[in-house]
Amino acid sequence: PAYPSARAFALDVWSRTLAELYPAERERLRTAAADSAWLRVVGGAHYPSDLAGSERLAGRVWARLLESPAFRAALDEARAELRTTPMSEPGTKDAPATGLHYLVEPLPLDAWFPSPPSGAAARAELDAVRDAVATRSDADLRWARAMDAADVRDVARALGLLPPGPMAPEVEDLLTGLRADVDRVLQRLRESHPRPRPATLDAAIPTAWPTPATSSWPSAKPLAFAVQLLVLAALQPKHDAARLDAWLAALARSRTVAGVHYPSDSASALAAAPRLVDVVLRSPAFVRERPGLCRVFGC
């Protein structure tokens, strides 16, 4: 049977377990599990409600596990092992102590990402999500899901930001490092500014996919895509800037149509992205890598 999704259930429980061992990576682990689970729907193997059922089941199983003395003892044993043999994260050999590769501290994130709305403004945004969801068509729903499933490499090619042919290792490393930096920024922001998702406040909102367990603010996908695409654009001075801006605006809109984000979640992400990109372009790591990237892009 399709319900519930076994893979999504396993991913959820594993991400919760690993988050206990690597608390600093909790946000990234939970997001990765949710993104991977959604691929079961993209691949045609499950319905969205299968994932929702798996999420509920995982939550109940996790609560039982935490009540188990044997499980808690196993966690303590694993933590002790990690203290004696710490595992390094891929791609962080030359990273500074903050774990950031391209972004350089101090980052004035509070100035770049204003706090999410509160009070009447927050209620108005929830109404905006309700309206977007209530008026969306089946075609809008398919579009929002397609935007969520988009890969930044495919989008970059479509926008003319990547040269034709196989992906160069230098470019792959750049995109991977940028995404890791953005994930760390998101983790810090969401810990300091937790914001309930629209469907958390109003369970009647039908989301395009199961509501993620992470904070709603800011929107992760628009921020990650904007930073990566804008850095690629800096290496391609002849790119179509208007087309890039239009695509990012469409991505931001799709998050509200899907019912998983408020408009300001994505707006704040797109507004802050150029500031982060400016730091990236001036970072020692990017300056070192730029000659190799320019050989690929001809810049």
- Measured from the Cβ of residue 70, the count of other Cβ atoms closer than 10 Å reads 8
What is the average pLDDT value for the chain, to the nearest integer?
90
CA dihedral (138, 140, 142, 145) positive or negative: negative
Identify the pLDDT of residue 96. 41
Degrees (nearest 5) of the Cα angle 49, 186, 83? 95
Q: What is the dihedral of CA 162, 167, 170, 176, to 10 degrees?
A: 90
* The predicted structure's pLDDT at residue 87: 52
Distance in Å from the first CA to the final CA of the chain? 53
Rounded Cα distance, 1 and 228, in Å: 39
State pLDDT tens for residues 143-183.
999 999 999 999 999 999 998 788 899 999 999 999 999 99
Tokens in use for 199?
């469907």
Query: Confidence band (pLDDT; 50, 70, 90) for 98?
Result: low
C-alpha closest to that of 32 among 153, 180, 154:
180
- Its pTM stands at 0.71
Which tens digits make up the pLDDT trace of 238-256? 889 999 999 999 999 999 9
Contact between residue 232 and residue 161 where contact means Cβ atoms under 8 Å apart: yes
**Dist. CA 298–CA 132, nearest whole Å:** 43
Query: Per the structure block, which two tokens stand in for 83?
Result: 């203290």
Given a cut of 60, is residue 274 above it in pLDDT?
yes
Alpha carbon dihedral 140, 145, 146, 151, in 10-degree steps, equals: 150
pLDDT digits 0-9 by tens, 5-37: 999 999 999 999 998 988 878 878 888 888 888
